[in-house]
A and B are shown apart, each in its own frame.
Chain A
Amino acid sequence: MNPADRFRSYIAAFNASDWVALYHFYAPDVRLVIGNGTELVGRQSIVEFYAAVKTQTRREIRIVQCFAQNDMLAAELESEFLAIKDAPDFVVRPMAKGDRYYINSFALYELQGDCYSRIRAAVLRREFRPFTG
């Protein structure tokens, strides 16, 4: 599988909340920096972080574009969080049930074999979309 196809499978696993599959996309000592600068180290930490986020929100990631060269893959992503319950401690900002938070981001993935060893994301655009009924 080429890096772009593998990346599509990775995002599909994320969107399906398939944590077991997601775990195996990461190198054991993977480092992930999300858009707000928080760094997570190790695949178990990452999976637990995402699983916790998905207890508060429904999140769908859409790949706008992705391409790879040598041991790196670049991606532009669109992501929307929908709060499925009140989440005053949500990682991005406090959210009330029904609120949405949109993020357009750039990310670089460094590959170690077939696994992601370093992932960093930077936010191009973000938009809070409060629930309007």
Chain B
Amino acid sequence: MRDCDAGSRTWFEAYLDAFNRGDIAQLADYHADALLVEGEVASLLTRKAVRGPSRTPHARMELVSFVGSAERLRIAAEIRATWVDGSEGPSPLDPAFAADDRSTTAFVFLDIAAGRVARIRSAPLIVAPSA
């Protein structure tokens, strides 16, 4: 993916695809050297590139909604993270992790600088059961 595509939906979809394929080299290419990370889903997204696959919980990321800024320096995305069967250890996605469907949804905001993700933050979307 070229740097000039940075910030586009296509560019971001390729980022999630790299995560889902476990393509650590491509994933690492997306990240700035001084990447700032905050939030559980954001940590999960970036951990694979930082720590390598053997210590990475296995989840799939699905893009639900996408909003990109006009200057392509900011992205807001709604992402559904699904814990894959057979993964080791407890889910890192609590407290929003739903035991029944093994997935959680988060809003993820990214700041992009020089064609790389400079900051990624996520907040869990909580939907209370209907009364």
Interface residue ranges of B84-131 to A (CB < 8 Å): 106-107, 109, 121-128, 130
Interface residues of B (CB under 8 A from A): 38-39, 65-70, 74, 76, 78, 106-107, 109, 121-128, 130
Is A120 an interface position by the 8 A CB rule?
A: yes
What number of A-B contacts does a CB cutoff of 8 Å give? 63
Cα A102 to Cα B105 with chains together (Å) = 23
Known A67-B76, A105-B123; contact A72-B65, beta-carbon cutoff 8 A: yes
Is A122 an interface position by the 8 A CB rule?
A: yes
Known A67-B67, A67-B74, A123-B123; contact A76-B130, beta-carbon cutoff 8 A: no
Residues on B with beta carbons closer than 8 Å to the beta carbon of A108? 65, 67, 76, 78, 107
Identify the closest chain B residue to A124 (Cβ).
B123
Please classify the interface of chain B as helix (H, G, I), strand (E, B), loop, or mixed, using the class held by over half of its residues: strand
Most buried by A among B65, B107, B121: B107
Residues on B with beta carbons closer than 8 Å to the beta carbon of A73? 67
Please classify the interface of chain A as helix (H, G, I), strand (E, B), loop, or mixed, using the class held by over half of its residues: strand
Most buried by B among A38, A108, A123: A108
Judging by beta carbons under 8 Å apart, are A122 and B67 in contact? no
Identify the closest chain A residue to B9 (Cβ).
A69
Q: Of the candidates B68, B76, B126, which one forms a contact with A37 in the assembled complex, judged by CB atoms under 8 Å apart?
A: B126
Cα A39 to Cα B126 with chains together (Å) = 10
Judging by beta carbons under 8 Å apart, are A124 and B67 in contact? no
Number of interface residues of A (CB under 8 A): 23
Identify the closest chain A residue to B76 (Cβ).
A74
Q: List 10 A-B contacts (CB under 8 A).
A: A33-B126, A37-B126, A68-B67, A74-B67, A74-B109, A106-B76, A107-B107, A108-B78, A108-B107, A120-B107
Cα A36 to Cα B106 with chains together (Å) = 13
Is A112 an interface position by the 8 A CB rule?
A: no
Judging by beta carbons under 8 Å apart, are A67 and B69 in contact? yes
Known A65-B74, A108-B76; contact A72-B127, beta-carbon cutoff 8 A: no
Judging by beta carbons under 8 Å apart, are A36 and B70 in contact? no
Cα A39 to Cα B125 with chains together (Å) = 12
Q: Beta-carbon contacts of A24-65 to B below 8 Å, as 1s and 0s?
A: 000000000101111100000000000000000000000001
| CB of B68, distance to nearest CB on chain A (Å) | 5
